[in-house]
Amino acid sequence: MYIVIVGAGDIGTPLIEIATRGGNEVVVIESDEERAELAASEFDALVLNADATNNQTLIDAGIEDADALISTTDRDATNIMVCLLAQEFEVPNIVSVVHSPRHMDLFERIGVNVMQNPQRLIAEYLYRAVKRPSIIDYMRIGEHAEVFEIDVDDGAPIAGKTLQEANDVGLLTEEVLIVAVERPGSDDPITPRGGTVIEAGDLVTVYSGEGATPEVTDIFGHQEDH
């Protein structure tokens, strides 16, 4: 892919690394001279020390041939302007970081794929690590639902039961689904069926319509504060 990345700061820099490592053709636009020089020295990418809100800068970056533009600056106003200009050049895939929740609707109204304020996401992740230490990884879906990974402890109510048995005794409800099972010693994940037995030591991926509440994590042997 031909990707134009705007910004080589805390968000843009790891993105540049990932994109270049993935074999993509990457052009970076960074207005700060020091950051631009650092990115040029570290990555196999064309780096322009210029203002991305200028049409000519985007043309110099090859925007007309770009498959995607990702704007990662720390200013929503700049990101909005860059995305609007990218739309004029009919870039197929336009993505932007959004720092203020108040601006989410604006980005969505102009048809831009958005990434919520990364600092807030990190803060939520850190809070979850303290509040729900049993959760290994998670992803929020909508307002309440979450997909998360959790280990099955010895003595967990679900350990030793098939999914059908867990459902029959009320451990699993319509709002709680086990969607994958990783078992020590097995190279491939297990696709769970009704007859699949959940064993202590399994790492399970769970969908919960109400999120990773204590009532749900209790099922897997993690007694956390209610």
Structure tokens at 130: 């303290």
> What pTM does this model have?
0.64
Q: Is 23 exposed, middle or buried (0-12, 13-18, 19+ CB in 10 A)?
A: exposed
Beta strand spans in the chain (E)? 2-6, 25-29, 46-48, 68-71, 93-98, 113-116, 135-141, 145-151, 176-182, 203-208
Condensed to tens digits (0 to 9), the pLDDT of residues 106-123 reads: 888 888 887 766 666 677
Condensed to tens digits (0 to 9), the pLDDT of residues 138-162 reads: 777 777 788 999 999 999 999 999 9
Domains defined for the chain, CATH in brackets: 2-121 (3.40.50.720), 132-218 (3.30.70.1450)
Eight-class DSSP state of 12:
H
Q: How far apart are CA 189 and CA 205, in angstroms?
A: 10
Q: Residue 215 belongs to what H/E stretch?
A: helix 214-218
Task: For residue 11, give the 3-state DSSP assignment.
Answer: coil
Eight-class DSSP state of 190:
B
Residue 138's pLDDT is 75
